[in-house]
Amino acid sequence: MCGIAGIVTQNAKNYSEAIQKMTDAIAHRGPDSAHHEYFENIALGHRRLSIIDLSENGKQPMFSNSKNECIVLNGEIYGYQSIKKQYGEYPYQGGSDTEVILAMYQRKKEHLIHDLPGMFAFAIWEDERQQLFCARDRFGEKPFYYAHGRNGEFIFASEIKAILASGLVEPKLNQEALSHYLQYGYVSTYQSIYSNIFSLPPAHQLIWKEGEINVSRYYSLPKKDRVLSLSEAKEEFTYLLKSAIEKQLIADVEVGSFLSGGLDSSSVVAMVNEFLPHQTTISFGYDHEDSELKYAKEIAEKYHTKHIEIHEKKEDLVSGIQKIIPFLDEPFADRSSVPHFEICKSARKNLKVVLSGDVGDELFGGYSFYKVEYEMKKHFGYQSLLARFGLKLYQNIRQISYISQKNIQYSSILDFHQNEVRNFFDNNERASLGITQDYQQPYSFKADKNSLNDIMRTDLEKFVPGNMLVKSDRMAMANSLEVRTPFLDIDFAEFCIQLPDQLKINSENDKIILRESMESYWTETIRNRNKQGFGLGIGNWFKEESLLKFSDELLKDKNQKIFDYIDFKAAQKFLDKGQKHWNLLQLALWANHHSKFL
């Protein structure tokens, strides 16, 4: 895991100070070393976190054997050893996965991307063709941003802060991205908070040549569900998960695992045990009776892991928020970033690499709202206009169920999902704040509005890269820690995406395929657990006096930077110690921290 940066421009060596500032800005992503290389028309920079091939042979920017190509890579190519054998004609100098991409590029050019697994964001400069080829992994695990400088330079980096550090871009606030943040609590993976700094979306490639940029999608989620029995699915599920875990354990440093005591992380730890007895596991919990630490300890004891517990007191909250804001270049409202930062910080004391159980809910059907949508789908009034009209009349006489209310309110389960689930400020509320723009991202598939699987596909292309993987990458990299996500192994993920929804969720159960395949690996307590959030509820957080004082300073002073962009008077009615209050607080904190750019 590393940080990358580059500037395409004439007389690139004149930009040595700018590229140095860029890599300095992302030193946390790669504290082990920093290197820069120059062609006539490009400066490349890299910050290294040494994971594979710790020798000088693994350093970047890395030249090919011909010196015609040079690459900067952030990420890991899982299973690279077997790919390397397919390109035996290349004269390898070391044992890194980065060099394998150069070998692939020499034979296949841009077409290599279709055969490249793993999590990655990279750029390859080909001097002979004067072309830059960039790509981002299929699910958006690694970030990639780009912009044009004031003198026509093409600039790219792992984080927005590196582009700003170049001094070549004067950022402008993106009103659409601000609207998306207010609605959903994060900026879309297709945009950045600045209108003139761009995010390369997941599963996309970018080619710069002769001053022109071409961005295109190279991968789409599988669109059709498979037909297979539960017994067939269980066998394939277990085989593919083991294979994914085995590939992601490859490193020249120790690999540990996050362990929450939930179904997903417990499954990862159980599979790691097949290959790595006495692994290190790390758990986090607030000191309150609902902490998950006791569940994590059960699994740790079952598999005899070297277990590390991190206890956190909620009165540390304000300092916790202030610690993470320098690593968030955009407004971000996910409260679990605070504990996630702490668990990454503690993990880094012992490890450089950890496995995570993220994205299990989206792949296996684990969220409670999926169950609501399942019930909405089978509800008798769902597709009948006459029945819905009758329900509207009936509700005037008697109270009807939540499911019936939502079937009346929304045209489909997809409509409900996009406009109610994980939504905060609606259209009218955003308009009252002075935000009238709207943004809805594109997808690689046309969703069936009645399909639960298509709702999960929607989350894989929207929430996962926009929220979950942003949190995972930024909080881990803030602590120079690499986090790997086995559930996003391409073979395993595609298998799960295509599973029929009845193997994921029904009226009685969620995560059916996971429960059926993995229950023998869990303890009895874990088998019977329901999903639990990471940390305390928002109401408990706002009981902290220091947080309320902090909020008043930022949100009750009309001279604060946030009120250059939203209406001060309208904002006051949302300061109710709830989630909208929290989201405004995070926006205000972000605006203050980045005021010199706004």
Q: Angle 469-478/337-348 helices, nearest 10 degrees?
A: 40
Residue type, 285: G
2 is catalytic: yes
Q: Distance between CA 43 and CA 27 in Å, rounded? A: 17
Task: Name which of 286, 244, 293 is nearest 484 in CA terms.
Answer: 244
Residues 6 or more apart whose CB falls under 8 angstroms from that of 243 comprise 489, 491, 492
Scanning the structure block, which residue is given the tokens 């354990």?
A: 249
Scanning the structure block, which residue is given the tokens 């070998």?
A: 103
146 close to 214: Cβ distance less than 8 angstroms: no
Task: Name which of 543, 480, 536, 551 is nearest 312 in CA terms.
Answer: 536
Q: Distance between CA 500 and CA 216 in Å, rounded? A: 30
Write out the two tokens for 311: 């206890």
**Is 356 assigned to a binding site?**
yes
Q: What is the biggest distance separating any 2 CA atoms in the chain, rounded to whole angstroms?
A: 80
Q: Distance between CA 384 and CA 378 in Å, rounded? A: 12
**Is 127 assigned to a binding site?**
no
Write out the two tokens for 430: 């955003």
Task: Point out the catalytic residue in the list 2, 70, 134, 496.
Answer: 2
Element housing 208 (H / E): strand 204-209
16 close to 43: Cβ distance less than 8 angstroms: yes
Q: Distance between CA 539 and CA 137 in Å, rounded? A: 37
Q: What is the DSSP string of 548-573?
A: HHHHHHHHS-TTSGGGGTS-HHHHHT
Task: Name which of 496, 180, 538 is nearest 365 in CA terms.
Answer: 496
Using DSSP's 3-state secondary structure scheme, residue 584 falls into: helix
Write out the two tokens for 463: 């929430």
**Is 97 assigned to a binding site?**
yes
* Residues in binding site: 97, 356-357
List, as residue ranges, the binding site for L-glutamine.
Answer: 97
**Residues in binding site for ATP:** 356-357
**What are the catalytic residues?**
2
